[in-house]
């Protein structure tokens, strides 16, 4: 069977794309490597919450149900994604991991673990979670303790009574530090001094700023977003509480790793039991490398969401790269809608 569109990835970005596709007459399917619904939210740490209230965290068409919490918990997000998928009866095949995409003639061959699918176009919506980034620090392989990435951090109890180094000045670093510091002795290492948003700024404000930036650029106007740096740390309740305990201070950065720990810039050594790298992600697009050139992060050349080097390929949900705020629940709808319009146009010709 030949599809018109295959969406690779069944997280929020894949579902938002499917929402607009289901109104078309196009034959499409979603291929997702997870065993069940919920995308990468299934792998996030247990205490993770959204940084916006539910009414600011909805996919197109159906509002996220109200939560008892100001910021919905990870399980509520998973539940919402599962119910969203069920509500619209999207055709999703799981678990199907796409290994490689080829283009033969005018069609794509999507080579998955057990089967090859054929489609006239592809929407890649595989997020970032499968491509954790750990910087290349000298001596990393010598460390005898345990190393984790925020992508596989679940609960603080694992670190009970240890001495733990938490690396990274983003939201993940601050949130994981906040809870691990309750059960372990922690040190925070950052490349630059961590910057915090004011207490009254949450995802709502950040989304509004991202939208203003988007509309200004659509009109060819300059936009000064310096008032809020979208990458600064959001003061969610756990981070505020950590600030009150005085643990939100960075020791700066280290230059190398040795067998027991790290060597700080001034040459002093410090031993640790574990290191948690909260150093972000690349893009989970390795399966496209046969048909497009990727940089080391997995980024390819695009115009909006459309691949420049290959006709018939789009990428949705990768944040600033393929659409302002498109890595958020509320932001991905705009990007998905626009993409599906382009796909429909493309398939007409
Ligand atoms: P994913 O959720 O990663 O879904 C991609 C799917 O594709 C997964 O199911 C994956 O298994 C599958 N896949 C990957 N590779 C393949 C393959 N080769 N073949 C088949 N399937 C594949 N957003 C907000 O809106 N609000 C927040 O408060 C918020 N907080 C966040 C906090 C953290 C710490 C992080 C990391 C992200 C946060 N986000 C937040 C961002 C966003 O919601 C997530 O990044 C989201 O998971 C992105 O959705 P996605 O569908 O693009 O990717």
Residue range 107-152, pLDDT digits in tens:
999 999 999 999 999 999 999 999 999 999 999 999 999 999 999 9
What pLDDT band is residue 217 in, cutting at 50, 70 and 90?
confident
For 229-244, what is each residue's pLDDT tens digit? 667 898 989 999 999 9
Q: What is the pTM of this model?
A: 0.94
Q: 129: Cβ below 6 Å to ligand 1?
A: yes
User: Count of CB atoms within 10 A of residue 44's CB?
Assistant: 20
Residues 248-266, mean pLDDT to the nearest whole number: 97
CA of 44 to the centre of ligand 1 (A): 9
CA of 281 to the centre of ligand 1 (A): 11
For 64-122, what is each residue's pLDDT tens digit? 999 998 889 999 999 999 999 999 999 999 999 999 999 998 999 999 999 999 999 99
Please identify, by atom number, the ligand 1 atom nearest to the C-alpha of residue 129.
3
What pLDDT is attached to residue 199? 87
Mutate to test the pocket of ligand 1, among 8, 34, 38, 40 (most ligand atoms within 8 A of CB): 40
Rounded to an integer, what distance in angstroms lies between the CA atom of residue 266 and that of residue 271?
15
Mutate to test the pocket of ligand 1, among 129, 286, 335 (most ligand atoms within 8 A of CB): 129
Residue nearest to atom 44 of ligand 1 (CA): 327
Is the pLDDT reported for residue 274 higher than 80?
yes
Is the pLDDT reported for residue 161 higher than 90?
yes
For 301-330, what is each residue's pLDDT tens digit? 999 999 999 999 999 999 989 988 899 999
What pLDDT is attached to residue 284? 98
What pLDDT is attached to residue 70? 84
Is the pLDDT reported for residue 227 higher than 70?
no
**At residue 111, what are phi and psi to the nearest 5 degrees?**
-95, 115
Q: 323: Cβ below 6 Å to ligand 1?
A: no
CA of 52 to the centre of ligand 1 (A): 16
Q: Which residues contact 253 (CB under 8 A, 6 or more apart)?
A: 189, 190, 191, 264, 265
CA of 280 to the centre of ligand 1 (A): 13
Is the pLDDT reported for residue 170 higher than 90?
yes
User: Count of CB atoms within 10 A of residue 237's CB?
Assistant: 12
What pLDDT is attached to residue 226? 66
């Amino acid at each position: 069977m030949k599809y018109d569109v295959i969406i690779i990835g069944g997280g929020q970005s894949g579902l938002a794309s499917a929402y607009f596709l289901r109104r078309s007459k196009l034959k499409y399917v979603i291929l997702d490597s997870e065993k069940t619904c919920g995308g990468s939210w299934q792998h996030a740490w247990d205490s993770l919450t959204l940084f916006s209230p539910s009414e600011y965290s909805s996919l197109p068409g159906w509002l996220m149900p109200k939560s008892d919490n100001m910021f919905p918990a990870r399980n509520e997000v998973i539940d919402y994604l599962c119910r969203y998928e069920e509500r619209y009866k999207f055709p999703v095949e799981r678990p199907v991991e796409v290994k490689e995409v080829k283009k033969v003639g005018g069609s794509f061959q999507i080579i998955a673990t057990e089967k090859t699918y054929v489609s006239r176009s592809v929407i890649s919506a595989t997020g970032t979670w499968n491509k954790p980034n750990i910087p290349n620090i000298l001596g990393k392989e010598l460390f005898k303790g345990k190393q984790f990435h925020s992508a596989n951090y679940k609960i603080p109890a694992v670190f009970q009574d240890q001495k733990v180094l938490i690396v990274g000045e983003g939201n993940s670093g601050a949130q994981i530090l906040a809870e691990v510091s309750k059960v372990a002795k922690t040190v925070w290492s950052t490349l630059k001094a961590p910057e915090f948003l004011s207490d009254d700024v949450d995802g709502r404000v950040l989304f509004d700023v991202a939208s203003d930036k988007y509309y200004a650029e659509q009109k060819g106007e300059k936009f000064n977003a310096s008032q809020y740096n979208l990458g600064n740390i959001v003061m969610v309740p756990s981070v505020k509480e950590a600030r009150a305990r005085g643990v939100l201070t960075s020791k700066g950065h280290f230059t190398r790793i040795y067998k027991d720990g790290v060597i700080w810039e001034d040459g002093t050594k410090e031993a640790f039991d574990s290191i948690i790298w909260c150093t972000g992600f690349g893009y989970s697009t390795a399966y496209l490398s046969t048909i497009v050139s990727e940089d080391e992060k997995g980024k390819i050349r695009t115009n909006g969401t459309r691949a420049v080097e290959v006709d018939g390929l789009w990428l949705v949900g990768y944040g600033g790269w393929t659409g302002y705020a498109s890595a958020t629940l509320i932001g991905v709808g705009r990007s998905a809608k626009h993409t599906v319009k382009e796909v429909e146009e493309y398939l007409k010709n």
